[in-house]
Structures are given as C-alpha cells and as structure tokens.
Structure 1
Amino acid sequence: MTIFTDFVLHKNVLDAIHDMGFEEPSPIQEACIPKILEGGDLIGQAQTGTGKTAAFGIPLVEKLTPANRVQAIVLTPTRELAIQVAGELLRISKYKKIRTLPIYGGQSIGHQIRALRQGVQVVIGTPGRMLDHLRRKTLRLENVNMLVLDEADEMLDMGFIEDIETIISHMQEERQTLLFSATMPPEIKRLAHRYMKSPQTIAVSREEVTAPLIEQVYYKVFDRNKLESLCRILDSQDVELGIIFCRTKRGVDELSEALQARGYLADGLHGDLSQAQRDKVMKAFREGSIEFLIATDVAARGIDVGNVSHVINYDIPQDPESYVHRIGRTGRAGRKGIAMTLVTPREMRQLMVIQKQTKAVMDSRNVPTLEEIAERKRTQMREQLIALLESDSAHEMYHQIVEELSHEYEPNKIAAAALHLAFHSESGNAEDEEVYNFGETGAAKGMVRFFLNVGRNVNMKPQDLVREISETVGIPGKAVGRIDIFENFTFVEVPEDVAPFVYEALRQTRINGKRINLEPAKPRTRRT
C-alpha cells in the first residue's frame, strides 16, 4: 500500500496533506504525483470525484517557490471549478508562503487586478477572464513553468479551445503541461499533440471511477406519475443535501416550481440565471437552507459540495459519461452516497447501456407506497414528540390551549386531534396512485396475459419475444410465462407486478421491423 510519505515531498506539504485528512492516495494520485514531480508532461484521464485536483495540486505546490511572480496557471471550464481548485491548493499550501488567486467572470475585475499587483504564485481561472487580463496586461505569463488544463473535454464542449490556444501563446515553450479530461475526443488529442512534449498518459479505469461508497439504484416509473414517484422517493429518504438532474432548463424550472409548491426546500440552477442568482442559489445550497439543488448537466459542472448525500437522475443521462459525472457529485471524501435514477419504460434500454458500459451494479427498487410513506412520517412524528416531551420545550401558548380544551374533551382525544391536524397539513394532498387493472385475462395465477398483433408472419420466435421483454423492461427472461405464437398474432404471459411496465414499454417498440400493438387478452381467447 502506497502512502503520501512515499513520495518525495517537503514536510510542510506532507503536514498540510495530513491536516486535510488524506490517509492514502487515490489511484489517480498514486499514478500521477511521482510522474509530475519528475517534470514531464502528463495526460490524466479521470472523472470528477477521483481526487484529480490533489493529483496535480500536490506536486504543483511542491514545485512552487515564494518568488513574487506567477509560476503556474490552472485553466478550468467554470467559475465553480476555479473556486474549488483554488480552495484545494490553498489547503495544500497551508504551510508554504504561497498565494493563489481564482479569477473568473462575474467577480469585480478591479479586485482581481489589485490582487495580481500584490503578487501571486498560482492563478486559477476560466479562459475568458484569463484572456481579459492578458489583453489588459494585468497578467503576465512569461515566467509560468507549469500549465494545468482541468476538465479539458468540458472546456472543449463550451467552445474554449481557441481561447486556450491564445493563452498558451503567451507562455514560454519550456514549461510542464498537464491535461486532465474525463474523455479524450479527437480535438483534445490534437491539442495535446500540438502543445505537449511526449506526454505520459495515466488513465483511471471505470471500476476505480465508480466509487464503491456510492450505492446505485433505479426506480421504474411512468411519465404521468413521475413527479409523484419522485416525491415519494424523497419522502422515504434521509437526505442531507441532494442534487436532482433534469435534461433541460425548462425541466429544471418546472420541477423546481412543483417541488417548492409541495413544500420541499428546493431551487433550480441553469444557464439562463444571472451570476448573482447563481451565486445566491449555490450559497443557499452549501449552507443547507435548501435541501435539493435541481440542475442541468451544464449548470452542475464544477460544483463540488462535500456533503451531498443523494444524486437523483430525474431524467436519465444521455450517455454513460454523463452518468458517471453526475453520480460523482456524491460519495466524496470517504462519505457514503446514493445515486438514484428514475426510468420510464422507453428509457430502460438506455439504462442497460449505462449499466453495461460503466459496469455499474444498480439495484431495482419499487417506488414507496402511500402507506409506507405515511408510516415513515408517523414514526418521525413520534420521535419528534418524544424529543419535545423530554426537553420540556413546548411553548406556553400550547399548554393554554390544552388546558382550555381539557374542560370539554379527554386529553387523549385532544392529542390525537392535534396530531391529525399537524400530520395532514404537512402531508398535503398527495395524488392518488394510478394503477393498472387489466381485469381477467385468462392467465395463470399471478400473471397477466397480453395479445400482440404479430406472430410467425414477422418470423418471431419465442426467444425473440423473451429477449425483447427482458431487454426493454429489465426483468430476467425466465420470468416470462407461457408464449403462444400463431400466424398473425401472439399471446404472452408476464408477472402481474411488471405487467404495467411491459404494457407501457412494448407499445413503444418494434419486433423484426413491425410495430407492436399490445392489449390485455380476453379470457375466451385462451387455448386449453
């Protein structure tokens, strides 16, 4: 087992690492730190949450001197990541006389200029604001001997490649260049080839990326019940802080309004917000005055809040990389975290692709019932009551009400009525659960029998139908019951508990190129 004292690091850097609570390096740190200390160029392929900031931050701080000039530049795609990296470098350099400065849009440039004039050794910033300072000649890069491009693929996606090249043109060629990226698209490879000298590549495998402390689960939901399902899931969890991901800015706004209307402490974050609004939302989230941050993938870039306990994919990610980025927001610094994904019938295939490519082990869970939620709330209320009774902190006003009512009603009835009032006002008006009732379909006990409008006429074999149901719905093939295939139609039996999902999913698909029409079977059509 490697420990930090195995690296060639000064005592003041090791002391700072100890104060940060780091005990042993993560895989990316173990691989990168010695290579960077040797002085060569390096490409690190690693996702958010793998410890890559310290992987370049520790050797960077080790190499800095107190000389009053900018010696290192770190480029990041977002202001949030710039702030996060600056904070990490500040902690690592705790016992060295090193000054770090994050620069980004939305902050007073006058403040940044004054700080630069006073002298800093490391500048961390977004490409746009970095260019602004270069044009004003308030930032000089001729003494920079280390350049770090952090989350290079994100900067590519945000259109910063030309800005990065302009910034690099202000630096001396004799420098150490470090590039970190979750993915390696061709444009990033070209950038590396053009500006790096024989870089070594360090890649963290996906098994190491998906942290073992992150529990991953998914819930099968229907589009029309999605909001209600989310609320039940949230009510069943002990959430410290949660990030809920939506696919679009409009989805963020609609879900924020819906959750706020139901009494949840939630707010949204997306690209249309002003910097002041964004800062306000993030401040409230970090301080815990809102429990749920609802965001798009783009808006969440660079966000690093250490005590996020839950990541919820309200909309399924578009690709496996996005999934890994999202779930990396929880389970930080040795904490446990849980990643939850809501999946509609038409999204099951995408979930299976994500599972296969990330090698993620996702458990399937049922959305909690109204009865389960009510029981949980009763338990919570009982615990709160006991705490109040034992602390004797009930307000005098309530004592007076009980005293007045006790002349006409029994104390236990007063208490029950008060609990009813509190419980139902808190619970609100939950939507009635929509359930399918397929009626009698002539199936075996515990099963539902469906009619399909295709059969041997599309060369369909039993194994084709089993595979389609299994892959589309995410159930074992052996769970599918009796199959009767005729020339132009088919009957198939599936378990009652997944029948609604099969019904929703197969109406959206094709078998051997033929669109499926699927309906509950009638008992009289059953063969004996």
Structure 2
Amino acid sequence: MEAVAAAAAKDKDKTKAKQRYLKRKKERRKVNKKSKPKPKLRLHRCLDSRMMQRGGGGEEEEPESGVEEEVEEEPPTKKRKISIEPATQDSTPAPAPTVSTPAVSAPLTLPTFPLPALPNPPSKSTLALQGLDRALVNAEIVPASRTVSIVDTDADRDQGTGGTHLGFSEKMRKRLVDLGITELFAVQTSLLPFLLPFSPLSKALYQPYNPPPDVCVSAPTGSGKTLAYAVPIVEILSSRIVTRLRALVVLPTRDLVLQVRETFEAISKGRGLKIGTATGQHSFSHEQAQLVGDHFTSLQGGSSKIDILICTPGRLMDHLKETRNFSLQHLRFLVIDEADRLLAQSFQDWLVQVLQATRPPKPELKYTLNYLARAAAAPSVPPVPDALSPSFLHLDTDIPSFITERKESSCQKLLFSATLTWDPSKIAALGLHDPKYFIVQGQQGEGRVMKGGRDEEESGALLDVVMEKFSMPATLKEHFLICTTYQKPLVFFHLVHSKHILNPNDAVLVFTKSAESTERLVRLFGFLREAIEEARARAQVLELDSSTNTNIVVQAYSSDLAAAERKSILEKFKAREIHILVCSDLISRGIDISHVSHVVSYDAPVDMRKYVHRVGRTARAGREGDAWTLVEEQEARHFKIMMKDAKHLSDVKRLRIGEQEFAPLVPHYETALSKLKAMYSRS
C-alpha cells in the first residue's frame, strides 16, 4: 500500500512538472512570435526614393507598420540554441532573446519625369479651314450694304468700288435705267469689274493661250446674282459676228429657266443675240430645230442657231448625246446657277460630260506628220477649217499642230448659289482654272481688308460661310410657332384670317413637304371658307365678321400640274389675282416675285439649306418681308438644334398663340375636316 501511494505521489509530481513545462513552452512561443521579424515585402527602389523625397532632405524614413524595406539577405547561419534552465513553480519567465537586424543603407534615388499630357484639340475654325483651296482662303469678302448708283453718266466710276471701272457700256447703262434698275447691289459691284475689266483683250471671245479665271460666288437670296452674270455675258457676246453657242446657263428647274430667259431678253434687247431654252417642255425634235441648223450632215465645228442656251441638266444631256452638230467647243461662259443643288445630283454625270465637251482633245503626232507629208508632196494653202474653235484646230488633218503647242478651252465657269458648297472633292471635280471667290455677307461680314493680311472680322465672315452660317437679308423678320399636329391647320388659318400675314396688297407663299400636302391643304382651306360662309349666312359667326376674309384666292402649285398650267398660275400670282400660293419646294430656289411679303413654311424644313432658300423668296432687293415656320411639337427639338448649329436661333423669334385666340374657328375647322375626310374616303 505504501508503494502504491508513493507511486501515485510520484505521478502527481510528474504531472505538475509537465504542466509547468507546457506553460513555459507556451510563454516562449509568445515571446518568439513577438520578437520574430515580419515577412518582407519587395518594393521598387523608385517607391522608396519617392517616400524619402516626401520625407524631405534625403533622410531615411521609417517604414510604415507592417512594411519593411527590401534588404540583401545574409548567408544562412546556424540556428541559435537557447538554453532553458529548469524552472521552479514560483520562478518568473526569462526575458526573450533579442534578434539583431542588420543596418540598411540609403537607397539610390532616380530622377522623376512629368506625366504625359494630351495636346489641346484644334479649334473649330482650324478644322473648318483644313483641306480648303488657297483661293477660297483668299476669297474676297463683300459687305452686303455696298451699292452703286448708275443714274448719272459717270456713275460707273469710283462709287464705292475702290476706283474700279464697272465695265459695261453706256448702251447697257441706259438699258438698265429703262428697266428701272438705278443701282447695283453688292454682288454686282464686285463681279462686274472682274468679268468686264478695262482691257479690251480680256473681252475676247477666244483666249486659247490665256484662258480667263473661273468665278465662284456665294451671296444671299435676292441679292441680284442673275443680273451679275447676265450683264457681262450680253456685253461680251455682243461683239460676235457669227452665231455660235457661246453661253450655257444650267438651272435646276423649268420655272427658273423661264425666269432667267426673261432677264436675258430684257437686257439684250437691241443687241441681236439669239436666246434659246431646253427644258423638255416641247418635243425633242422641236428643240433640235430651234438649237441647230443642220440635222443631216456632221460638222466638226457644230452648227448653232442660238448664242445663249438656258437649260436643265437632264435635257442638256439628251442633246449632247442625240442632237447632231450640237457642240460646246465655242463656249465662252458656262454658268451653273444654284450650284449646290446641281452638284449634289448626278443627272447621268452631266457635269463630267459637259466639261469634257468644252475641252479640246490632246493633239496627236499623226496630225502633224500628215500635214508635213502633204506639204512636202504638194504645197498648197490649206482649206478653211470647218468652223472649229481655235483650241480644236488640230482635229483637222490639213491644219498644222505642233507638239509644243498647248491650247486651252476659252470657257469661263461661273458658279452661283446662296448656299454654295465648299466640299473640296466637289470643287475639285469642276476643274476650276485660277478661281476667284466672292462671298457676300451681311452685318457679321462687313469687315475691312487690311494690307498684308486679313482682318479678323473678314476671317470670321469666311469661317461663317465655310461652317455654313448663312447670312439673311437685313430686312427679313423671322418667326416660328410650336403647335400640335391637330392645331397646325388652325394656326395657319388664324394667321391668315387675323391679318397677321395677309393684307390687301400682300402675297403669300406657303411651302409644304410634298405635292399631296399642297393639294390637301388647298382643299381644306376651301372647305373652311365654305363652312364660314354657311355659318355666316345663319348669323352664327358674328365674332368673326371683323377679322375674317372669305374672298381670299388660294391656289396650289406643284409638279403634278402641266407646264402650261403652272405658267398660267404663276402669271396670275404675279398679277395679284391669286393671294396665297401653296406650293412644294419646286419654286423655293431662284424664283423672283417682287410683291411676296410673307413666306410660310407649313411643313418645317428638314435642313438649313432648304430653310434659307424658302425664306429667300421674300425680303428681296432691299424690300421688307416676314418668314413664318410652323413647327410641330415632335419637330421642335430638331428645328432648334438646326438653328443653333447655324448660329441663327436668336434671330428667329418665337410667337405664342393661345387656344382661346383661334377658338372661334374650331367648329368651322371640324366641319371642313369632316368634308375633307369624306372626299378622300370616296376617292
């Protein structure tokens, strides 16, 4: 029993010793964990150098907690042995052994470099001028306010044109005065001295060795562009002896062809010039008989009965391909009016073929060798060439043509438009020779020309044109109204009947988006007038008696009508027999009707160019006019953005009309609308 008790006491002592040992072992682990260095993180030297620079003065900076510098590792050594003395129950833990850390040398610093930065983007003006022809950059900016009086005998000298002679004869001056033209506008005062210089050699019909420079003109609508090219053409061609086709005027529409012909006939009265047109209005054989003299034999020089041809591009191409002896080799002037529209439409590549017909083909060696052989065998005087132009003489085998001889076409190209294109690709397709640009601008373009450079205002005017900031006549007032689709006819009828846009002596042009819209609006207007007259007969429209005029004559004008009918309608409108002419964009370009005081865009235009040409039908030649645009609610955002991009939004005033103002018209409008629906449902 004593042995068993002794063994139990001994096991108990061993258990206590083991517990003390485990406790010391746990404490040593804690101490070693605290004194053991933490894991190293490898950082780039540049990070250390930047941290030292932020610390200042190149002094070492202690790393943040948990992060130590990267140092070179020492070669591995043997593990240190730590002796543990036998501990007693009341003994205290021994201090943990310290581990020495090797000294760290200061890292080398690298120079810092600035971060890369993006360059400033180019301005809109710089981008707009990129790729433009140098002739366009050096364009002549003409203030729209410049005018010259031609009433006096010496008025064509030094009247605000810098001492430049206007160039036309006394006979032309008297003819212009007889027509009621007493002063010339800006585009005319600039272009006439250029096309009619004082030197008589520059007025020659043929200039094969020194062809005249071409001209591009950008001027607002109604500024007198037709007269600017009609006067020089008549003056220069009046010296001709033999009738040849020497002037070709290309226009986009038939109506504009008739108007330009009237201008030429009025100016050239008494000069003996023969003017013809080709629009497709008459039969093809009838036009052939009017243009050329011989249909059966082929003549190298062509045969023409007219001096000036005014035509549309489609009909011109028909005559170039099908009419025998129709030749353009004698052309002295090629006028492209409304150039932006004609250049945008191909018409069977009419421009390429017309330019090719005016240029002489390259001379070939066989012509020269053939002539020398004939001259050596039997020297004789060569026969008279078959009416060939000087630049086409090498086509005749009996006329010498030397290899070093270079002859060019004498045709001078004249381009006119209120929204002339500045697309380099389209301008390059014209093959312009030493072109001269004239830009007529309003108030924003009235700058002065500085010697040795371009004035800032003048440069701004050029940028406005290139970036399509179109100039409007100073006498034009512009308005727009926002309404719903249902209210748009009511708003238009209210404007008419409340005399906002129609006085006894006024004429109104209304533009719609299509021929169908034109016809539908005219019918609706007629039904509304009938409804008002019926209600007035029943004495139910007393509130409209003072402001409603039912004697307004409204007529539709569109491409659906025959040519003779359109001509008759236009003559009645000019004679003030028709008060409101509702039309499509058929006559939005070039048509000049002097008494048009209001232009209404019943359907808002989709682009700025169309807007410019529409509103240009009024406020022409210095007269006053108003332009109204009815904008539906879903179109308002696009319309405002379009005006803002053209920097023209501030010039268009918004007019607000409350529903109570046109409320008296609502019952009559609903009656007219029901009649219109019934008519279309039956048809």
Q: TM-score range by the shorter chain?
A: 0.5 to 0.7
Q: Distance in 2 between matches of 1:373 and 1:306?
A: 35
The aligned amino acid for 1:332 is R
| 1:114 to partner: Cα distance | 4.2
Query: Equivalent residues in 2 for 1:358-369 (5 A)?
Result: 359=648, 361-367=651-657
Q: Number of residues paired by the alignment? A: 381
Q: CA, structure 1 residues 143+273, in 2 after alignment: closer, same or farther (shift >3 Å)?
A: same
Query: Equivalent residues in 2 for 1:241-260 (5 A)?
Result: 241-260=507-526
| 1:233 to partner: Cα distance | 0.1
The aligned amino acid for 2:608 is P
Q: Distance in 1 between matches of 2:427 and 2:352?
A: 8
Query: Equivalent residues in 2 for 1:60-75 (5 A)?
Result: 60-65=233-238, 66-67=240-241, 68-75=243-250
Map of 2:577 onto structure 1: 289
Structure 2 residue aligned with 1:89, among 253, 264, 287? 264
Query: Equivalent residues in 2 for 1:113-512 (5 A)?
Result: 113-116=288-291, 117=293, 119-134=305-320, 135-137=322-324, 139-160=326-347, 162-172=349-359, 173-185=409-421, 189-205=425-441, 209-237=471-499, 238-239=502-503, 240-263=506-529, 264-298=552-586, 300-356=588-644, 357=646, 359=648, 361-367=651-657, 429-430=668-669
Contact kept? 1:219, 1:341, Cα under 8 Å: yes
1:12 equivalent in alignment to 2:274: no
Q: Distance in 2 between matches of 1:293 and 1:335?
A: 20
| 1:215 to partner: Cα distance | 2.0
Q: CA, structure 1 residues 221+124, in 2 after alignment: closer, same or farther (shift >3 Å)?
A: same
SS in 2 for 1:170: helix
| 1:185 to partner: Cα distance | 4.1
Q: Distance in 2 between matches of 1:189 and 1:90?
A: 36
Map of 1:476 onto structure 2: none
| 1:53 to partner: Cα distance | 0.8
Contact kept? 2:278, 2:310, Cα under 8 Å: yes
Contact kept? 2:599, 2:614, Cα under 8 Å: yes
Contact kept? 1:103, 1:126, Cα under 8 Å: yes
Larger radius of gyration: 2
Q: Distance in 2 between matches of 1:353 and 1:371?
A: 29
TM-score where L is the length of structure 2: 0.51
Name which of structure 1's ranges 46-55 and 152-161 shifts more when overlaid on structure 2: 152-161
The aligned amino acid for 2:655 is R
Q: CA, structure 1 residues 303+108, in 2 after alignment: closer, same or farther (shift >3 Å)?
A: farther
Structure 2 residue aligned with 1:35, among 187, 194, 204? 194
| 1:339 to partner: Cα distance | 0.8
Contact kept? 1:269, 1:293, Cα under 8 Å: yes
Q: Mind listing any 5+ residue stretches in structure 1 that lack a counterpart?
A: 375-423, 433-528
User: Once the two structures are superposed, what CA deviation does each residue of 1:407-438 show, in whole Å capped at 9, x if it has no partner?
Assistant: xxxxxxxxxxxxxxxxx9xx992559xxxxxx
Q: CA, structure 1 residues 95+13, in 2 after alignment: closer, same or farther (shift >3 Å)?
A: farther
Residue identity over aligned pairs, in percent, reads 28
| 1:327 to partner: Cα distance | 0.7
Query: Equivalent residues in 2 for 1:102-113 (5 A)?
Result: 102-113=277-288
Structure with greater strand percent: 1
Map of 1:53 onto structure 2: 226
Q: Which has the higher contact order (CA 8 A, sep 6+)?
A: 2
Name which of structure 1's ranges 55-64 and 45-54 shifts more when overlaid on structure 2: 45-54
SS in 2 for 1:217: strand
Q: Distance in 2 between matches of 1:368 and 1:98?
A: 58
SS in 2 for 1:223: coil
Q: CA, structure 1 residues 291+94, in 2 after alignment: closer, same or farther (shift >3 Å)?
A: same
The aligned amino acid for 1:261 is F
| 1:257 to partner: Cα distance | 1.7
Q: Distance in 2 between matches of 1:144 and 1:373?
A: 62
Map of 1:21 onto structure 2: 180
The aligned amino acid for 1:307 is H
Q: Distance in 1 between matches of 2:220 and 2:343?
A: 15
| 1:283 to partner: Cα distance | 3.9
Q: Distance in 2 between matches of 1:176 and 1:21?
A: 29
The aligned amino acid for 2:260 is V
Q: Distance in 1 between matches of 2:339 and 2:220?
A: 11
Contact kept? 2:494, 2:662, Cα under 8 Å: no
Contact kept? 2:331, 2:410, Cα under 8 Å: no
Q: CA, structure 1 residues 372+132, in 2 after alignment: closer, same or farther (shift >3 Å)?
A: closer
Q: Mind listing any 5+ residue stretches in structure 2 that lack a counterpart?
A: 1-145, 151-155, 158-165, 198-211, 294-303, 360-408, 446-470, 530-551, 672-683
Q: Distance in 2 between matches of 1:64 and 1:368?
A: 60
Contact kept? 2:442, 2:474, Cα under 8 Å: no
User: Once the two structures are superposed, what CA deviation does each residue of 1:332-369 show, in whole Å capped at 9, x if it has no partner?
Assistant: 23332211111233333344345442536233334387
SS in 2 for 1:198: coil
Contact kept? 1:236, 1:368, Cα under 8 Å: no
| 1:206 to partner: Cα distance | 5.9
| 1:191 to partner: Cα distance | 4.8
Q: CA, structure 1 residues 12+192, in 2 after alignment: closer, same or farther (shift >3 Å)?
A: farther
Q: Distance in 2 between matches of 1:111 and 1:21?
A: 35
Name which of structure 1's ranges 47-56 and 156-165 shifts more when overlaid on structure 2: 156-165
Q: CA, structure 1 residues 189+431, in 2 after alignment: closer, same or farther (shift >3 Å)?
A: same
Map of 1:526 onto structure 2: none
Q: Distance in 2 between matches of 1:213 and 1:369?
A: 31
Map of 2:387 onto structure 1: none
TM-score where L is the length of structure 1: 0.65
| 1:175 to partner: Cα distance | 1.6
| 1:188 to partner: Cα distance | 7.6
SS in 1 for 2:486: helix
Q: Distance in 2 between matches of 1:206 and 1:295?
A: 29
Q: CA, structure 1 residues 168+300, in 2 after alignment: closer, same or farther (shift >3 Å)?
A: same
| 1:123 to partner: Cα distance | 0.9
| 1:325 to partner: Cα distance | 0.5
Q: CA, structure 1 residues 204+272, in 2 after alignment: closer, same or farther (shift >3 Å)?
A: same
Q: CA, structure 1 residues 159+210, in 2 after alignment: closer, same or farther (shift >3 Å)?
A: same
Q: Distance in 2 between matches of 1:279 and 1:327?
A: 22
Structure with greater helix percent: 1
The aligned amino acid for 1:179 is L
The aligned amino acid for 2:498 is S
Q: CA, structure 1 residues 317+77, in 2 after alignment: closer, same or farther (shift >3 Å)?
A: same
| 1:197 to partner: Cα distance | 0.5
Map of 2:463 onto structure 1: none
Q: Distance in 2 between matches of 1:353 and 1:12?
A: 51
Q: CA, structure 1 residues 156+175, in 2 after alignment: closer, same or farther (shift >3 Å)?
A: closer
| 1:299 to partner: Cα distance | 5.3
